[in-house]
Amino acid sequence: MSLRTLEELKASGELRTSSKLEAILKMGHLAVTSECGPPRGSDPKAVTEKAELIKNHVDAINTTDNQTAVTRMCSLAACIHVKQMGLEPVLQMVTRDRNRIALQSDLLGAASFNINTMLCLSGDHQSFGDCKQGQNVHDLDSMQLIQTVRRMRDDGKFLGGDDIKRPPNIFVGAAANPFADPFEIRVPRLAKKIACGAEFIQTQCIYNLDKFEEWMRRVRERGLHEKVFIMAGMTPMKSAGMAKYMKNRVPGMDVPDEIIARLSGVPKDKQAEEGINICVEAIQRLKEVEGVAGFHIMAIEWEEKVPEIVERSGLYPRPQV
């Protein structure tokens, strides 16, 4: 896609929301997002300090929603802190903890702070977290949440059918895991999310580049890359130990043995650096894949490395919108 200016884009009438991420993707830039995991406490600095580290190198910042089912500061509050810094937050919402009343209500709350971008997820099962004995809700699933947001935004209607005064103005994203099983429905599943109204995708962390490229080939075969912006998920490995843990313990993660071998092949004090090298090389390779619209860099509790990854990957400076 050739680059367009914001003025050209605005004139084209293709912008649906005021989301900065939407504008950058539709202008034709490779977008860069990252994330701030909210703290297990109420100190806003835990969010703002992370955001400060990455703010000049990313277009938008996801705030995760009780990730791995561990109780944390809520995603919406973290988004508000990010927004108040003049940055662009991406509200992550999982369907595990809230029913349709709470989800719609939080969407309006987010919209009232002009939070314009969100990501719809089902959420890790609570048995992974700190409230194993708790209920899960799953009144809606992630696809139905996408539909809900689109209905609220595009039709100005609640699920119950009533009109919304000042509907939310939100660019809607979803996750995709190109590596989970069964592989044969990974692309149909993406098609389903697009049919529900997903406008951008942030993928699961990619380590198996061959398999990701095969998935992208099938995505292109169906023309889905022209219907949704696919942002490739990247997480740098800090050590060989982390790589082994991700391979063996994290559901839906595909870490090839070569990655573990490469990290194990350097001294312990150099493994982090090697992890960054692997991540940068992967981004450089995937930048060339048709249909990859950007990168979502999830440097978990390692936010200070995001600027280096972005710069070395040739994704800096970020476009000004």
Partner 1 sequence: MIIASKKPIEEIIQEVKDYKRLLILGCNECVTVCEAGGKKEVEVLASTLRMHFIKEGNEKKIEERTLERQCDHEYLEEIRGIVDNYDAILSLACGVGVQFTAEKYHSTPLLPGVNTCFLGANEQRGMWTERCQACGSCILARTGGICPISRCAKRVMNGPCGGSSKGKCEINKELDCAWQLIIDRLRDLGRLDDYEIVAPIKDWSTERAGGPRKVVREDVQV
Measured from the CB atom, is 78 or 143 closer to partner 1? 143
Measured from the CB atom, is 117 or 202 closer to partner 1? 202
Measured from the CB atom, is 100 or 318 closer to partner 1? 100
Q: How many CA atoms lie within 13 A of 205 on its CB side?
A: 22
What minimum distance in Å lies between the beta carbon of 199 and partner 1?
Answer: 16
Distance CA 170, CA 142 (A): 16
User: Tokens for 157?
Assistant: 């209607």
Distance CA 305, CA 283 (A): 14
Measured from the CB atom, is 34 or 126 closer to partner 1? 126
Distance CA 44, CA 63 (A): 13
What minimum distance in Å lies between the beta carbon of 245 and partner 1?
Answer: 15
Measured from the CB atom, is 99 or 284 closer to partner 1? 99
Q: Which spans of this chain sit near partner 1 (rule: CB under 8 A)?
A: 96, 100, 122-125, 127-128, 136, 138-144, 147-148, 159, 175, 177, 180-182, 184-185, 188-189, 191-192, 195-196, 204, 251-252
Measured from the CB atom, is 71 or 127 closer to partner 1? 127
Q: Is 44 exposed, middle or buried (0-12, 13-18, 19+ CB in 10 A)?
A: middle
> Which residues, 6 or more positions from 29, have their beta carbon under 8 angstroms from its beta carbon?
3, 294, 319
What minimum distance in Å lies between the beta carbon of 229 and partner 1?
Answer: 19
Backbone φ, ψ for residue 157 (5° rounding): -125, 145
What minimum distance in Å lies between the beta carbon of 208 and partner 1?
Answer: 14
Q: State the sign of the Cα–Cα–Cα–Cα dihedral 38, 44, 46, 52.
A: positive
What minimum distance in Å lies between the beta carbon of 234 and partner 1?
Answer: 16
What minimum distance in Å lies between the beta carbon of 250 and partner 1?
Answer: 9
Other Cβ atoms closer than 10 A to 273: 13
DSSP string, 54-112: HTTT-SEEEE-SSGGG---S-HHHHHHHHHHTT--EEEEEESSS--HHHHHHHHHHHHH
